[in-house]
């Protein structure tokens, strides 16, 4: 139990996928203009990450390893992630057309969110079991969502701030992201093993 | 690498792709109901003021309620008679007058913020269903007239009553002009 808790803490805060591993920066910058869109993106990514890490573990453990096809993992995982993302898109479109419109192209682009593939590959590399994979995926998604929501709130404030001309837009957003990464370094050593 | 191993690898990749395709096709046919297209068509006829006078949170929920038979088509004062007739034609129902319980049709209007009175409290921002009010805390707010639907939802939250409704300018993009009956 403690192991799982530490795993979750590590994946969501200490080794936050966005702010300390620099994975998934594309939606982090792209969908952080509006809070509603960011919240939808955070939920969709959390869903995709959890499902994809569970399924990729099953595929690895029960198909790839028995058939000695370990070298196919990147291809197979990407296929699987694309499938899960497509499923998520169908669900979002059916349940909330407004959110579907708000997320636009960024919903199918979760496929190329390297955090999702990163979690699947890390699960395999660290030889996580099924439960560990699910917890790792869910907490990585929660960490991504947390970073995205915090960043979006900051950017909404920045929109009305008096920023020097040369820094407006993307530059000040990147500076903000860097400062957030520094702040998240404060979690280093939390629950260290 | 021998041919058998390559064959197995190909087989696994193709089998996975096919399994995913079948699963997605099944999910799409199960989750997406056919009624969705009817909801879209009803929604396209509604004025998109998002005013909530029909007692639904917006035009699309009202469209969904019409499609499921939960609500009648006479609840949309901003759309006026023209919307009602269009809906009656689409759904093949007899046209009828608007239900006065949901309000009376008004001429096209847009919100206007009186800047002398606005205190920059930002309370009207979340009330606007179409995000037509620009502003932030302790900054002067203003209304993008081209986006404003004149729904009046920003009036109740304003603590200083600085929002007025004025006749819509001819350039208004969003505003549905009720045509004369």
Q: Which H or E run includes A122?
A: helix A114-125
CATH topology of domain B108-176: Alpha-Beta Plaits (3.30.70)
Distance from CA of B36 to the nearest CA of A (A): 8
The domain tally of chain A equals 1
Residue A46 lies in a domain: yes
Residue A193 lies in a domain: no
Q: What does the pLDDT read at residue B180?
A: 37
Q: What is d(CA A8, CA A14) in angstroms, rounded to the nearest whole number? A: 9
Residue A172 lies in a domain: yes
Residue in A68, A79, A159 nearest the CB of B16: A79
Say if B15 is an interface residue toward chain A (CB within 8 Å).
Answer: no
- Contact list in B for residue A72 (CB cut-off 8 A) is 9, 12-13
CB contact under 8 A, B9 and A80: no
Residue in A64, A94, A159 nearest the CB of B31: A94
Residue A101 lies in a domain: yes
Task: Write down the pTM of the prediction.
Answer: 0.71
What's the half-sphere exposure (Cβ side, CA atoms, 13 Å) at A173?
A: 18
Q: What does the pLDDT read at residue B177?
A: 46
Residue A177 lies in a domain: yes
Question: Phi then psi for B88, rounded to 5 degrees?
Answer: -60, -40
CB contact under 8 A, B16 and A93: no
Residue A22 lies in a domain: yes
CATH H-level, domain B35-102: superfamily: Electron transport complex subunit B, putative Fe-S cluster (1.10.15.40)
CB contact under 8 A, A90 and B24: yes
Confidence of residue A112 (pLDDT cuts 50, 70, 90): confident
Domain that holds residue A17: 2-187
Q: What is d(CA A80, CA A86) in angstroms, rounded to the nearest whole number? A: 10
Query: Domain locations in chain B?
Result: 1-32, 35-102, 108-176
Residue A114 lies in a domain: yes
- Complex prediction ipTM: 0.72
Residue A192 lies in a domain: no
Of A17, A49, A30, A71, the closest CA to residue A174 belongs to A30
Q: What does the pLDDT read at residue B108?
A: 81
Range ranked top by mean pLDDT from B19-23, B147-151, B165-169: B19-23
């Amino acid at each position: 139990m403690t192991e799982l808790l530490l795993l979750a803490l590590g994946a969501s805060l200490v080794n936050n996928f966005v702010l300390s591993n620099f994975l998934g920066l594309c939606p982090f910058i792209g969908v952080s203009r509006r809070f509603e869109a960011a919240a939808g993106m955070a939920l969709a990514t959390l869903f995709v990450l959890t499902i994809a890490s569970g399924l990729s573990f099953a595929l690895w453990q029960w198909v790839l390893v028995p058939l000695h096809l370990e070298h196919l993992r990147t291809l197979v995982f990407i296929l699987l992630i694309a499938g899960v993302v497509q499923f998520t898109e169908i669900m979002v479109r059916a349940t909330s057309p407004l959110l579907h419109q708000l997320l636009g192209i960024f919903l199918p682009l979760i496929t190329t969110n390297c955090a999702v593939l990163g979690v699947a590959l890390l699960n395999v590399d660290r030889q996580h079991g099924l439960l560990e994979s699910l917890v790792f995926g869910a907490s990585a998604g929660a960490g991504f969502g947390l970073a995205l929501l915090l960043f979006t709130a900051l950017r909404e404030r920045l929109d009305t701030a008096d920023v020097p001309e040369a820094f407006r837009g993307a530059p000040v957003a990147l500076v903000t992201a860097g400062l957030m990464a520094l702040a998240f370094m404060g979690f280093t050593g939390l629950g260290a093993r | 690498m021998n041919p058998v191993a390559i064959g197995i690898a190909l087989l696994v990749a193709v089998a996975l792709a096919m399994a995913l395709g079948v699963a997605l096709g099944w999910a799409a046919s199960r989750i997406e109901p056919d009624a969705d297209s009817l909801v879209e068509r009803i929604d396209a006829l509604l004025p998109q003021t998002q005013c909530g006078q029909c007692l639904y949170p917006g035009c699309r929920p009202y469209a969904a309620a019409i499609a499921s038979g939960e609500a009648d088509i006479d609840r949309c004062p901003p759309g006026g008679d023209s919307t009602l007739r269009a809906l009656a034609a689409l759904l093949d129902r007899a046209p009828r007058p608007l239900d006065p319980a949901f309000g009376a049709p008004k001429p096209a209007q847009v919100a206007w913020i009186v800047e002398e009175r606005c205190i920059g409290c930002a309370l009207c921002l979340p009330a606007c269903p179409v995000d037509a009010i620009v502003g932030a805390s302790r900054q002067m707010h203003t209304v993008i007239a081209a986006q404003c639907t004149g729904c009046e939802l920003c009036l109740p939250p304003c603590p200083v009553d600085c929002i007025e409704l004025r006749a819509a300018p001819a350039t208004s993009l969003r505003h549905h002009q009720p045509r004369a009956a």
